[in-house]
Structure formats: structure tokens, C-alpha cells
Amino acid sequence: MSQFWIYFQIGLKHVLDINAYDHVLFLIALTVPYLFKDWKRIFLLVSLFTIGHTLALILSVYGIIAIKVNIVEFLIPITILVTALYHLFTAGKTSKNDGINLVFFITLFFGIIHGLGFSNYFKTILGGSATSKLLPLGEFALGIEAAQLVVVFVVLVISYIVQTVFRFSKRDWALVMSAFIIGVVIPMIIESPIWNR
């Protein structure tokens, strides 16, 4: 049980680390156009992101895939930018139906990119002597999922307050938050080490 708690906590801290806010920024960008009544869709999106994240860790830990850190560190803010831009341009449109669409596949793919960003650190945590790597990966994934649901819940609460108390329309809220996220993420892209070749 203590091993479960160790990897679960690592997953929690990975998402909620204030110094590595890119994960939270992506979750905000992903959640911003939704309300509490959309909880099934949000849960599915967040779970797909976790599945992608975990898949990337599995592929990396078992040596199936390896990507340069600079490239991944560049792609992570790009995923945030693309998500925010998508919601900026689709704010207020009613095309967000309940069916599986491109957003689900993109979210899964973006989860893979974010997972690759954490893979080197996770490999050092596991160490070379770990006989079973899947169990710690599962425990870590549960920690990530729990932390992501906390972030999403907080975003939905803030969204509810802004839209009911301050009378922001759903469209205006999505526009303002998407623009804010774009403003935060562009400097991350500009300052990426990929440009220092």
C-alpha cells in the first residue's frame, strides 16, 4: 500500500506542481468551454489525456520510443496553444456535440506528448532494478487522473461563479480565458531551448 501511495503522490505532484504549470495550463485550456452539465464529456477528455500520458510513459520506460527533450519541451506549449486557439475560434459555437470527434483524438495525442515530457524523470524514479514497471505506472496514472479532476473541478467552479455572479456569457468566458492562456504560452514557446541550436 505504501508503494501505491508513493507513485500516486508522484502523479498528484506532477500535475499540481506550481513550478511546472504547463499541465494545469493545458487542463484549463481544455476545460474552459464547458460547464458542470458537460461532466461526462470532460471526464472522457481528461481520461483520454491520462491514457495518452500513460501510453507515452510505457513506450518510453520499455525503450520503444525516445524523443529528444528539447523537442518535447517545445511541443508541450504548442499543444496548449493549439487547444486555446481552437477554443478561441469556436467559442459560442454549438458544434460541441456528444459524439466522438477530432477533439478526442487530439486530446489523446496531446497526452502522449505531455507524457514524453515526463518520461525521463519517471524512468529515474523507477530505476533499472524495477521488475514490474506496469504497476507503478498504473499507480502514477491514478494520481495524475485524480489531480486532473481536481484542477477541472476548480476551473468549473470558477467558470460557474464568473458566469452566474459576474454575468459573463459562456462565449465571453471562453474567449477571455483562451486569450489569457495564449498570452501565457507564447513566451514559453519563444523561450524554448529548441531555438538554441
In 3D space, the residue among 81, 65, 43 whose CA is nearest the CA of residue 187 turns out to be 81
Q: What share of the chain is helix, strand, coil (3-state, %, to 5)?
A: 80, 0, 20
Helical (H) or strand (E) element with 173: helix 170-190
Quote the percentage of the chain above a pLDDT of 70.
93
Total domains in the fold of the chain: 1
Average pLDDT over residues 166-171: 93
Whether residue 14 has pLDDT greater than 80: yes
Cα 67 from Cα 69, distance rounded (Å): 6
pLDDT at 180 (0 to 100): 97
Reading the block at residue 58, the C-alpha cell is: 510505457
Q: How big is the chain, counted in residues?
A: 197
pLDDT in tens, 127-153: 754 457 888 889 999 999 999 999 999
Domain that holds residue 156: 2-195
Cα 113 from Cα 54, distance rounded (Å): 10
pLDDT in tens, 60-76: 988 899 888 899 999 99
State CA 51 to chain mean position distance. Answer: 11
Neighbours of 181 (CB within 10 A): 22
